[in-house]
Structure 1
Amino acid sequence: MPEAHEKIDHEFYTTARWNNWLGQVKESGFEFKEEENTEKEGAVFVNMTDDIILACLKVIAKYESNALSAEDAMAILDDIRGIALAEVEPISEDIDLMIESLQTSLIGSFAACECFIAEGFDKKAKIDDLISAAVEAEEAEDIDSAIGYVAQIGALVLDGNSLPESMEELPYGLVAEWLDGIDSIEAAMIGADSYKEDDGDYDVV
């Protein structure tokens, strides 16, 4: 039986933080509309995603500065994943669809972060080739391989590479949604690097 991870007490991301976002989502009363205000109402989902992505980037920054071991970084990411991907009580049909889409995209984000820390990617691999392989794997219903390719794409982005503009031409499906999560990582990395100086406290308990 594998040895269980030590519980790490940290403030990178918490259930209370996630629940606060869910409260804001409820208050938004989001509905799919043709009017311009739909984009404004939908901003809460973008901000909610960014908050989680930044938490993951802080973990990676701590790992890269040797403040966290790979094992501890993985354990914290697993904890954040458990919070963000937990089943959410139904709110409304439109909001439920948005949360489901958000959580699906985050699966790609988490897979990327874990692949980066595990160094499970080839730094010389071409992102275009990996995207094609991921789409082909999904078409062949080989979902495990598909998420594996997406994880490698995300790890390359975390390593400093850029996503191609051809992303917009992808067929709608799981790979496209997972890659939205990678796109969120790239946007967060370009947006600001203050997460690298974060002093999130943590202790092994």
Structure 2
Amino acid sequence: MAGKSGDGFHHDFYTAERWNNWINQVKDSDFKLEESDETEGKAGAIFVNMEDDIILACLKIIAKYEKEQIPQESALEYLGQIRDIALAEIDPISEDADLMIDSLQTSLMGGFAACEAYVAGDYDEKDDIGDLVKVALEAESSDDIEIAIGTIAEIGALVISGKELSEKVMEEVPYGLVAEWLDGIDSIHAAMQGSDSYKDDEEDDGK
């Protein structure tokens, strides 16, 4: 899925092979939701690592865009390539694993929307994240999913630009689509708070 884009260069920010390697690890883990906390925590870490791997690849694209090493159009194209890989339908593995992958993909929807909104400049730095979360929740309760995910995208773009997604705001969000999408934004925030080596890393071959 990776390859030449509008910038005329070859980039492998993320590959289908890389994603499939993660899926194979999930299959090998024989993940069960009802196992002991210790066992579930170890197997469940696969899903956290899968998400982190995707988010870091997206942040590498954004870092290159910010350095003007790739143009806006190419950055959006690369993000779209990763989104298509990660959100593609996956053959059933097991009931428990399928539930986790579905949750992971929903969370990643928020992350991808955020990254695309940031690169496209579809956000207003004056907006308050807490207020936007309320807008997203109201839209979700009205079944206006388009407005809900659009608002989540703006929240995520603000987080990428440096604003904080507070734990207090996260704790007050009831379980639902908005909560799962915000998990993706929280993953972006956590990745940005960790090592910033992704800003200088060259993309690898996905193996």
* Structures share fold, TM-score greater than 0.5: yes
- Equivalent residue number for residue 80 of structure 1: 82
Aligned equivalents of 1:122 and 1:74: distance in 2? 19
- How far did 1:169 drift? 2.0
Alignment-derived partner of residue 110 in structure 2: 108
Q: Would the aligned equivalents of 2:7 and 2:70 in 1 still touch at CA under 8 Å? A: no
Separation in 1 of the partners of 2:10 and 2:199? 20
Question: How much is the aligned-residue C-alpha RMSD, in angstroms?
Answer: 1.8
1:189 matches 2:192: yes
- The count of aligned residue pairs is 199
Provide closer, same or farther for how the CA distance between residues 98 and 201 of structure 1 changes in structure 2, counting only shifts above 3 A.
Answer: closer
Rounded Cα–Cα distance in structure 2 between residues aligned with 1:171 and 1:8? 44
Q: Indicate which of 180, 200, 205 corresponds to 2:203.
A: 200
Q: Over residues 25-82 of structure 1, what are the superposed CA-to-partner deviations in whole Å (9 max), with x where a residue is unaligned? A: 1111110125122111100000000000000000000000000100000000000000
1:201, CA displacement in angstroms? 7.7
Aligned counterparts, 1:41-80, within 5 A: 41-80=43-82
3-state secondary structure, aligned to 1:52: helix
Q: Work out the CA distance in 2 between the residues paired with 1:188 and 1:100.
A: 21
Q: In 1, are the aligned partners of 2:7 and 2:71 still within 8 Å (CA)?
A: no
| Residue in 1 that maps onto 2:164 | 162
Q: Residue 41 of structure 2 aligns to a residue in which SS? A: helix
Shift of 1:6: 8.6
Amino acid at match of 1:46: V
Which amino acid in structure 2 is aligned with residue 47 of structure 1?
A: N
Q: TM-score, normalised by structure 2?
A: 0.92
Write the distance in 1 (CA, Å) between the matches of 2:190 and 2:130. 18
Question: Which secondary structure does the structure 2 equivalent of 1:22 belong to?
Answer: helix
Give the Cα separation in 2 of the matches to 1:128 and 1:102: 24
In structure 2, stretches of 5+ residues that fail to align are none
SS of aligned partner of 1:46: helix
- Give the whole-Å Cα distance in 2 for the aligned partners of 1:123 and 1:199: 30
Which residue does the alignment assign to 2:28? 27
1:88-127 residue CA offsets vs partner (Å, 9 max, x unmatched): 0000000000000000000000000000001110001100
Per the alignment, in what secondary structure is the counterpart of residue 146 of structure 1?
helix
Corresponding position of 1:98: 100
In structure 2, distance between residues paired with 1:199 and 1:40 = 29
Name the amino acid aligned to 1:101: S
User: How far 1:199 sits from its partner (Å)?
Assistant: 2.0
For residue 148 of structure 2, what is the aligned residue in structure 1?
A: 146
Q: CA deviation at 1:5?
A: 6.7
Q: Which stretch has the larger CA shift, 134-143 or 167-176?
A: 167-176
| 1:112–1:154 contact (8 Å) kept in structure 2 | yes
Structure 1 position 132 matched with structure 2 position 112? no
CA-CA distance at 1:164 after TM superposition: 1.8
